[in-house]
Chains A and B, each alone.
Chain A
Amino acid sequence: MSSTAPVGTFDEVFDSDGTPRAHAEQLVAELERLGAESLVAAGALRDAIFMRQGITFDLTSSDGAVADRPFPLDLVPRIIPAAEWRTIKRGLAQRIRALNQFVDDVYHEREIIRAGIVPWKLVASRSHFARAAHDIRPPRGVYTHVAGCDLVRDSDGVWRVLEDNVRTPSGISYMLENRLAMTRLIPSLFAHFRVRPIDQYPALLHAALRWVAPVADGDATIVVWTPGPANSAYFEHTFLARQMGVELVEASDLVVRDDVCYMRTTNGLARVNAIYRRLDDAYIDPLEFRPDSLLGVPGLIRAYRAGTVAIANAIGTGVADDKAVYCYVPEMIRFYLGEQPLLENVTTYLLDDPEQREAALARIDQLVFKPTGESGGSGVVIGPAADERRLEELATTVRRDPTQWIAQEVVRLSTVPTVSADGTLAPRHVDLRPFAVFGEEVRIVPGGLTRVALEPGSLIVNSSRGGGSKDTWVLDDEHDYDGDAALTASFSPPALPDLRLGSWTGQAQQQQQQHRPPP
């Protein structure tokens, strides 16, 4: 196996002279032992399993036909050493706490604005700034219950935050299914590593929702609210409801009476205490937001304002993951927490500023331009990859409404070896979306969803545009496993009677029960 990562790119498995990095040596050796043939066979089994279990996504081909494809999981895992993970984890927890405070602040005292750090004009002009959320403090003051920040590594290998997602970040189900699939497809890869488990995520989410649910006594009723089976992330909605053992509801199941939210059950109305919603602010209540929304529950915001129901994530969090606000996150961390940011931003230009705008437009073919209110990569223009006409259009659009655009330096995403169709390995660019849950405290599941561009040299990792994903392993070095063996040795399982074999004669039984000698 060899790696030929493009010059100027950081490869996470091989260093610049092509030798495996220390943490990946065993992985490289095991992949070599398996060989291309085994990887192709495991790939075929993976597709069969995913199709059978319905872990698929819709791929629209160039002729417009929509096909159901197995989710493209790459068979080479991505490894994150424990020390690196500690930095990421702390950096993200810090960032999410700051974002949570920011949301609280802009809908209440607006201290950060009065301190002159974030301009009010910018905040109020964000498309996801929700006037309806003004002066509402959700149960226990948590807004960003679920967060997924996208991380990248540039050519220097340093982890940076590319964007924040604190509305309804998706992908957690794929992360969990990827791990399950890897343990079934190529378990031998795990042999030399202690990989930290991730299957506690649904329990963490459930605990966080219980923590914020306003209940006087007894157990909280929690629901997952989906727009419906037509939604592209419906698989994830069902997955989370099933894993948490809670109801998956649609708008028609919910009803608000006297500022209290209920769901319709066979036993009449049942009180709902917390809603994990998977649809945007704009659709959740036709009385407050879009009046034409058929997906919404009339009166829900009234119940929310009355504090009888927790909604995760809270209303109006979109203001915090706006891409123009993103530029101010390091300042927020200093302002609210009095700490230095542990994770840096990618260099970003605010196009509202005339000086920055002209400088950025002069280098329009070298930068990435992003509309501020969008998510999931829509509307993004990558300067070096766009043709001249597209760039001219872009310049016109940006000049017309510069507050809705930002520009970023192109990040040469790091690479990880990835299986090609013939089973050989080649470096491909990756990013990482770790998932955080904010309840009593911020908890981050070790790893996250690694997305990988499957085309050589491509930086587009979105699965809707031909990207794949990788199982992400955070290694556990905090425990000495020899020490564990000693502990385990002190435990001996209780001796149970032998299993009976039940032969009619009783003679054969005794013969069969003779144990074979230890191997």
Chain B
Amino acid sequence: MLARIAHELFWLGRNVSRAELTARMIDGVFQADLQGRPDDPSGVTLSWDGVLAIMGSTATADSGRPSRAETVVLLSTDPANANSVVASLERARDGARAVRDVISADMWEAINSVHLGLADAAVGVTGYGGPYSFVSYVKSRTALFWGVASRTMLRDEAYAFLDAGGRFESADMVLRMLRVALPPGGESSTSPRDGQALALLGAVGGLQAFRRARVAAPSAAAVASFLLYTRSYPDSVAASIDAVRDALELADANPRASDPVLRLSRVLADLDFRGRVGGRDGTELVEVCEIVGNELTLADRDIAERYFGGVAAPSRAA
């Protein structure tokens, strides 16, 4: 297939995923932020400045602590901010238009009609209501998109790139959240920031999955290792990377010579090893997150170079 089309599909997946995860994160942090954390007076690491850091944004970094209202609007409905949910959805729609002949009509309709209810749902974001309606709308529309995609789209190269994009973005976003939320310098497992672990789980929607999978209390380290290593949890970093690798293997004519496939396989093997052999205390978790984060940046470049003709690849310096 055309490199340009593969690129559009990959980024369609990424933008839809990014919109959903950003919305979930806003919801999780918003709720944790509303209530005091007397058990956690020291570091609100996954708070609004943390959220901005996750989004790679430095826009308000020098104007003091960003306020709750400012950040919520900036990241949800602000069309001028390229990292807002609305901007991601808008890019997804533009991208879908470019591949309208490739994706199914249902998928096009799902993504094209997002903006119809968006204005209504966004009212609360600036008013007294908070982001709840907006977030639940975005969650249901993105779920609809992935739902019809899984039922109506031929499992060909096109689907593989769409899927790879969606899962790549999940891995990237969850990893970004972990890198910001984990205590710097790797504190002990009984970190006073454990309260934030709940917010983090809430932010990725994994609270119940965690409780069913682990007996441990949701401490920062327990949550981080769950979100990093647990293959049976679909939004864990390991499960997402696994899915990206599988998708690229399908799409590639010669996967055994593919840089991104080889790189991701190595990252996965490393994650498996670390998950089994130690790798669960604070210091090591921070280290693993950083390594995997760097590898993902390289994999992103590999994917662009191998499949998209090197277009829009991140610079090697990054």
Contacts and interface: CB of A to CB of B under 8 A. Distances in A.
A257 interface: no
A504 B4 contact: yes
Given A197-B35, A512-B82, A493 B50 contact: yes
B184 A494 contact: yes
A401 interface: no
B143 to A, nearest CB: 15
A509 B184 CA distance: 32
Contacts of A194: 35-36
Interface in A171-226: 179-180, 183-188, 190, 194-197, 199-200, 203, 207, 219
A504 B180 contact: no
B98 to A, nearest CB: 9
Contacts of B74: 519
A502 B11 contact: yes
A276 B187 CA distance: 35
Nearest to B312: A506
B212 interface: yes
A513 B83 CA distance: 9
A187 B43 contact: no
Interface of A is mostly: loop
A242 B208 contact: yes
Interface centre among B7, B18, B41 (most CB of A within 10 A): B41
Contacts, number: 153
A499 B83 contact: yes
Interface residues of B, number: 71
A265 interface: no
A515 B59 contact: yes
B145 interface: no
B54 interface: yes
Nearest to B210: A245
A488 interface: yes
B130 interface: yes
Interface in A489-503: 489, 491, 493-503
Interface stretch (B62-70, B242-250, B268-276): B62-70
Contacts of B130: 183-184, 187-188
A491 B45 contact: yes
A502 B314 CA distance: 9
B8 A504 contact: yes
B309 to A, nearest CB: 10
B130 to A, nearest CB: 4
Contact of A183 (B34, B50, B212): B34
B14 A494 contact: no
B54 A496 contact: yes
A243 B213 CA distance: 12
Given A497-B56, A501-B91, A203 B318 contact: no
Interface string A456-479: 000000000000000000001011
B53 to A, nearest CB: 3
B137 to A, nearest CB: 13
B31 A180 contact: yes
Number of chain A interface residues as a range: 35 or more
A219 B217 CA distance: 13
Contacts of A256: none
B133 interface: yes
Contacts of B50: 493
Contacts of B35: 179, 183, 190, 194-197
B142 interface: no
Contacts of A207: 217
B228 interface: no
A38 interface: yes
A42 interface: yes
A500 B59 CA distance: 16
Contact of A493 (B49, B214, B311): B49
Given A203-B217, A487-B42, A196 B312 contact: no
Contacts of A42: 128-129
Contact of A504 (B43, B133, B214, B312): B312
A499 B55 contact: yes
B179 A494 contact: yes
Contacts of B218: 203
A497 B318 contact: yes
B38 A196 contact: yes
Given A190-B35, A497-B56, A519-B60, A488 B44 contact: yes
B13 to A, nearest CB: 10
A63 interface: no
Contacts of B198: 199
Nearest to A502: B11
Interface in A243-294: 243-245
B43 A190 contact: no
A385 interface: no
A499 B56 contact: yes
A484 interface: yes
A491 B41 contact: no
B7 A518 contact: no
B14 to A, nearest CB: 7
A487 B7 CA distance: 44
A491 B43 contact: yes
B58 interface: yes
Interface string B168-201: 0000000010011000100000000001001000
B297 interface: yes
A506 B312 CA distance: 5
A243 B45 CA distance: 24
B128 A493 contact: no
Given A496-B176, A499-B56, A506 B311 contact: yes
B270 to A, nearest CB: 20
Contact of B82 (A38, A487, A501): A501
A187 B69 CA distance: 11
11 contacts: A45-B129, A195-B35, A245-B212, A476-B36, A487-B41, A499-B18, A502-B14, A503-B312, A504-B7, A513-B82, A516-B59
- Going nearest first, the 6 A-B pairs with the smallest beta carbon separation are A245-B211, A493-B53, A194-B36, A187-B130, A184-B132, A502-B11
